[in-house]
Structure 1
Amino acid sequence: MNAPVVIALHYQNDVLHPEGKIRVGLGADDRARAALLEAAGRLLAGARAKGWPIVHVRVAFRADYGDLIQNAPILRTVASLGAVREGSWGAEFFSALAPLDSRNELVITHHRINAFFGSALETVVRQFNPSHLLIAGVATHSVVESTVRHAVDCGFEVTVAADACASADSGMHAASLASMAVIARISPVTQALEEWS
């Protein structure tokens, strides 16, 4: 069986940094922030140690938001906050979770909630011919869940690395994980890495 592909969603400054514009509701000293960063770091380090491909997915828009279709509250909020503008510090990857310069690590930019929609993500993932995807990121109830559902519809088996995901509302995070459990395996990072060794 081919190695799984790790898809790391939105580990960006505006989403994770205490000075970011979105921050998924995690305060600068919130224990949930530290736990998320630690788990995401273990996920990336574990995948690198095993030689698994990692696709780092970022969301970013033109400075004038001309490429942002604001047809949903979450998308209108991005524009009103001035978040994830292309070329800005906020759109850059959070330094501790940034991609390495490696042929096994690729970067995809997308513009919708589902990371597959209108992006090269499926083409990039399929070049590794995986049967399984290991997905994590922020926020659980938006980009993670939308991307997981699309991946399953594409025929991939999916594991969600639950502790490397977060939402502004912990109840929303838990509800999203419970909803995805019908179509994907929900595992902590440590277990997910062991299962696919």
Structure 2
Amino acid sequence: MSNAALLLIGFQNDYFSKKGILNSLISESSHITGVLENTFKLIETHSDKFKTIISTPICFTDDYSELTNPVGILNAIKEAGAFKKGTFGAEEIAQIKELDNIITTIPGKRGLNAFSNTKLETYLRELNIDHIVLSGTVTSICIDSTGRAAHEKGFNVTVLTDCTSSRTPFEQQFYCENVFPLYANVVDSHEVISLL
């Protein structure tokens, strides 16, 4: 077992359920990359390669009072009423719930970066994690924001090309080819095993 953590971002119904408020935002890219199938196949076949597997769902109160003058994607989330506490859309997808014996959920995410407003860093430090592997959505937003923060905190970072999805296939490809290599390893779910 390595000192690596698999970090799952955005695996919630508002993104991945056909009934999800923001499903149409990522559905094309998710279908092309196979983000769900590849992520859970990786967990099924190689969970023992990770010291921990963590889910970091985003969730807001009814009035989104924690968002002060939101812009961009956070404003769009507020206007759409997505990821509201106690709703179907805010819930983690069924596959996460079914694996709650090996996936630790760290609540508190209120923005783009999974370290912000959560105990994620404390948890990782307690386990002596030095390598974070990122899976989930949205590639250009939460994956990038979390990856950069992890890098700046001194973690080695890997982004999984076939376990992430974005708003468009072009955006997914652009980030994987031009942005992530600036601070992270960029591999698919088969190649990552050799890094662990």
Q: TM-score, normalised by structure 1?
A: 0.89
Question: What is the Cα-based RMSD across aligned positions, in Å?
Answer: 2.2
- 1:15 maps to what in 2? 15
Q: Which runs of 5+ in 2 are unaligned?
A: none
Give per-residue Cα distances to partners, 1:8-61, cap 9 Å, x unaligned.
Answer: 00100001111100125244x987168121112123224424353011010000
Contact 1:83–1:91 at 8 Å: present in 2 too?
yes
**C-alpha separation in 2, matches of 1:99 and 1:138:** 20
**C-alpha separation in 2, matches of 1:57 and 1:24:** 21
One-letter identity of the residue aligned with 2:34: A
**C-alpha separation in 1, matches of 2:33 and 2:95:** 12
Query: What SS does structure 1 have at the residue aligned with 2:123?
Result: helix
1:71 positional shift: 2.6
| Superposition map of 1:31-50 within 5 A | 32=31, 35-50=34-49
Q: Which piece of structure 1 moves more, 92-101 or 187-196?
A: 92-101
**C-alpha separation in 1, matches of 2:75 and 2:115:** 20
**C-alpha separation in 2, matches of 1:79 and 1:189:** 33
Query: What SS does structure 2 have at the residue aligned with 1:71?
Result: coil
One-letter identity of the residue aligned with 1:22: L
One-letter identity of the residue aligned with 2:86: G
- 1:181 maps to what in 2? 181
Distance 1:80-1:31 versus aligned 2 partners, 3 A rule: closer
Q: Which runs of 5+ in 1 are unaligned?
A: none
Q: Which piece of structure 1 moves more, 63-72 or 173-182?
A: 63-72
1:161 positional shift: 1.1
Query: What SS does structure 2 have at the residue aligned with 1:163?
Result: strand
Q: TM-score, normalised by structure 2?
A: 0.89
Give per-residue Cα distances to partners, 1:113-132, cap 9 Å, x unaligned.
Answer: 11112221111111110121
**C-alpha separation in 1, matches of 2:107 and 2:42:** 18
Contact 2:161–2:186 at 8 Å: present in 1 too?
yes
| Superposition map of 1:49-68 within 5 A | 49-50=48-49, 52-68=51-67
Contact 1:43–1:164 at 8 Å: present in 2 too?
no
- 1:73 maps to what in 2? 72
Contact 1:2–1:131 at 8 Å: present in 2 too?
no
Residues 1:123 and 2:146 are matched in the alignment: no
Report percent identity of matched pairs. 24
